[in-house]
Structure 1
Amino acid sequence: MSTKVLAHRGFRSLYPENTLLAFQKALEIGAHGLELDIHYSKDGEIVVFHDFELERMTGQSGSIYDFTYRALSTMTLYQNNLKERIPSLKEVLELFSKFEREQPLSEPRILNIEFKAGSQFYPDIEERTLKLALNYLNKNQLIFSSFDHRALVRLKELDASVLTGALTTALLIEPWLYLDRIHADFYHPHYLTLSGDHLKGLLMQEVKINTYTLNDPQVARQLIDQQINAIITDCPDKILALFDEEVV
């Protein structure tokens, strides 16, 4: 098994996060996949954005779900003197599937869609997102993750064969037991929790690990050597370079 490199909110270290430009640039350099975040707009469009509040990325006050998609799409996202806009999930899926058709890798790319909240906050978002995503990609190309694990349970109720990943911030004791209980396929821990006996236990239990947000090549090298499933990173260029070193 070869560890995959998933670009966290796209090529976030150089381009405005969660934008078509950031996703395009990550795919162009050979990232094995993308990670992105979704919300509803006021009018129910599935939009790609990380925060509940708009201010950090747009300079405007207010919550993302209080604006229509048309209004959101006119807002400017700033980073590194670049100006981009908030895309819909449909737009990202169109871009992603175009790369799959025109510039395929040796293995299908992976799209990790993170629900910032489940249907208790955004009604039917799991069902609508799953239906939309499957119009563009195969199930084996999709991983649905969330800190709201109720969303993962709901996805499995909709289709037991879809792939889900449980996001955590703190170290869990024997997480494989919890993953089994919620039928999650992947464990998405912060990389700082992957050390010593904890990592050893995960590997012994054959837990599929997709760790975030790892930008340190030295630490990434250690986890690649342990053959974890995926590294989610703001710096896909730096982590991909480790694979070039293997060839040399």
Structure 2
Amino acid sequence: MARELTQIIAHRGSKGTRPENTLPAFHAALMDGADGIETDVHLSKDGHLIIMHDEKVDRTTNGTGRIVDHTLAELKQLDAGGWYDAAYAGTQIPTLDEVVQLLIRQKFTGIFNLELKTNKIHYEGIETMVADYFNHHEVPFKLVYSSFYGKSIERLHALQPDVEFDSLFQTKFKTAKRLHAEQIIIGYHPDIRWVRRHWLLLPKVQLRPWTVNTERDMKFCYRHRFAGLITDYPGLAHRLRVQMQGG
């Protein structure tokens, strides 16, 4: 029986080659052969589920301030692509629904890893809104939730116990160990630097390290047959996987 391939999860889409967390980045990741998409969700001032990594729009748009202090209409006026390259000027900040609809149109059947960005701002009711969205939208892909904020994982698990949950962490994994012991999560998404030092000490869980961007780290993940890797460069990861794992 052939061993399973290490899954390639595109971090914020093809973040290394397109403006992160935009529709062009997600489309490029699919074209590059990614098995999964990782992205981040926040809430706007008027209660819309917004796809962006940072709590503020400053770094990846021509705007300023927190997402939670802007309405959807205000966020849609911002340029989320020009900072990366003039070719992407005018690219808009997407909503969760716009990303999901893109994946449906592309007949994507891989992993959709949605990180709730609740570790700094505890958006009131975001877990219920996310669960409600997916309870009312039939999707062809596998949904995976993750968060640095353990309470978000616990709340979502109560709302959608059949969905896969994974815990993110950089150095300490006390919360992750507890959630795994309670069978709330089944996998860890740790920093690749942490993994290189500690992976032999981890319990036998699904490992999908982040952010795996160098050939050296990609080869490390493939050699040890980790469940997956999260990368800004899904195209490079795919080429190396063909060489090392044959697919």
Is TM > 0.5 for Structure 1 vs Structure 2?
A: yes
1:143-154 alignment, distance < 5 Å: 143-154=144-155
Distance of aligned partners of 1:221 and 1:21 in 2 relative to their CA distance in 1, 3 Å threshold: same
Q: Supply the AA of the counterpart residue of 1:66.
A: D
Partner in structure 2 of residue 95 of structure 1? 102
The separation in 2 between residues aligned to 1:146 and 1:174, in whole angstroms, is 11
Structure 2 contact 128–159 (Cα < 8 Å) conserved: yes
Task: Show the counterpart of 2:15.
Answer: 12
SS at match of 1:95: helix
Question: Relative to structure 1, is the Cα distance of residues 182 and 64 closer, same or farther in structure 2, using a 3 angstrom cutoff?
Answer: farther
Partner of 1:186: 187
Q: Separation in 2 of the partners of 1:142 and 1:92?
A: 13
* Closer/same/farther in 2, CA of residues 115 and 175 from structure 1, 3 Å limit: closer
Per-residue deviation, 1:174: 10
1:86 is displaced (CA, Å) by 0.2
Instruction: Using the TM superposition, give the Cα deviation of residue 166 of structure 1 relative to its aligned residue in structure 2, in angstroms.
Output: 0.7
Distance in 1 separating the partners of 2:33 and 2:232 = 14
Deviates more, 1:55-64 or 1:44-53: 55-64
**Contact between 1:94 and 1:136, CA under 8 Å: does it hold in 2?**
no
- Unpaired runs of 5+ residues, structure 1, are none
2:150/2:175 contact within 8 Å kept? no
Aligned counterpart, 1:46: 49
Structure 1 residues 198-240: Cα deviation after superposition (integer angstroms, max 9, x where no partner): 21232xx321111111101221111112111111111111111
User: What TM-score do you get using the length of structure 2 for normalisation?
Assistant: 0.89
Counterpart code for 1:91: E
Is 2:85 the counterpart of 1:80? yes
State how far apart, in whole Å, the 2-side matches of 1:188 and 1:20 are: 24
Q: Does the CA-based 8 Å contact 1:186-1:207 persist in structure 2?
A: yes
Equivalent residues of 2:6, 2:228 under 8 A apart: yes
The residue number in structure 2 matching 1:137 is: 139
Distance (whole Å) between structure 2 residues aligned to residue 49 and residue 199 of structure 1: 30
Contact 1:93–1:133 (CA under 8 A) maintained in structure 2: no
Q: Residue 232 of structure 2 corresponds to which residue in structure 1?
A: 234
Q: TM-score by structure 1 length?
A: 0.89
In the alignment, is the contact (CA less than 8 A) between 1:93 and 1:136 conserved in 2?
Answer: no
Structure-2 residue corresponding to 1:200: 200
Specify the code of the residue in structure 2 equivalent to 1:242. L
* 8 Å CA contact 2:14, 2:25 repeated in 1: yes
1:159 shift after superposition: 2.4
Alignment match, 2:207: 209
Work out whether residues 167 and 176 of structure 2, in 8 Å CA contact, stay in contact via their aligned partners in 1: no
Say whether the 8 Å CA contact 1:170–1:193 is kept in structure 2. yes
Residues 14 and 80, structure 1, Cα contact 8 Å, conserved in 2: no
Counterpart in the other structure of 2:6? 3
Following superposition, the deviation at residue 85 of structure 1 comes to 1.1
C-alpha contact (below 8 Å) 2:5/2:225 kept by paired residues: yes
CA drift of 1:175 comes to 5.4
